[in-house]
């Protein structure tokens, strides 16, 4: 009986980890934080998650872009001021943080959270210091 319970828990663990986060789970996790993401160990960009599902995103070394996110049939979709095309993702949480898979291109590399801070995103750009 004891071995059967352990086997059941081991088999159930990965399945639960494979389920994408709901919009409510994502909102609770991310709001009030700035998260940095990497692909293959290289920093990809960072995003500040504000109240009201607003965001501020920047690719590494580039200007920030304001946007918002919404839930679309279980995907977390972002729309930014520089491009009105929704960018939809599935987010997963594990022991190291978030992982994100781009739904618009399932063959693309997965993003991994590599850092988080409550500090605002520092934006590069032509208007800095003006």
Question: Do the domain assignments include residue 11?
Answer: no
The parent domain of residue 101 ranges over 19-117
Question: Do the domain assignments include residue 124?
Answer: no
Q: Residue 22 is encoded by which pair of tokens?
A: 């709901």
What pLDDT is stored for residue 124 in this prediction? Answer: 75
Count up the domains in the chain and report the number: 1
> Cα–Cα distance between 20 and 25 in angstroms, integer?
10
CATH code of residue 38 = 2.40.128
Question: Do the domain assignments include residue 46?
Answer: yes
Question: Do the domain assignments include residue 27?
Answer: yes
Question: Do the domain assignments include residue 125?
Answer: no
Question: Residue ranges of the chain with pLDDT lower than 70?
Answer: 1-17, 125-130
Question: Do the domain assignments include residue 12?
Answer: no
Question: Do the domain assignments include residue 64?
Answer: yes
Question: Do the domain assignments include residue 10?
Answer: no
What pLDDT is stored for residue 16 in this prediction? Answer: 40
Paired residues of 36 in beta bridges: 46, 115
Cβ atoms < 10 Å from Cβ of 73:
7
DSSP label at residue 95? T
């Amino acid at each position: 009986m004891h071995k059967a319970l352990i086997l059941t828990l081991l088999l159930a663990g990965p399945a639960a980890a494979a389920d994408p986060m709901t919009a409510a789970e994502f909102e609770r996790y991310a709001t009030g934080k700035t998260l940095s993401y990497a692909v293959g160990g290289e920093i990809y960009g960072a995003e500040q998650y504000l109240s009201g599902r607003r965001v501020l995103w920047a690719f590494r070394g580039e200007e920030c872009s304001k946007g918002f996110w919404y839930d679309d049939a279980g995907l977390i979709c972002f729309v930014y001021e520089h491009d009105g095309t929704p960018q939809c993702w599935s987010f997963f949480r594990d022991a190291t943080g978030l992982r994100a898979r781009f739904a618009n291109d399932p063959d693309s590399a997965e993003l991994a959270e590599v850092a988080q801070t409550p500090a605002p995103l520092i934006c590069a750009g032509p208007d800095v210091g003006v």
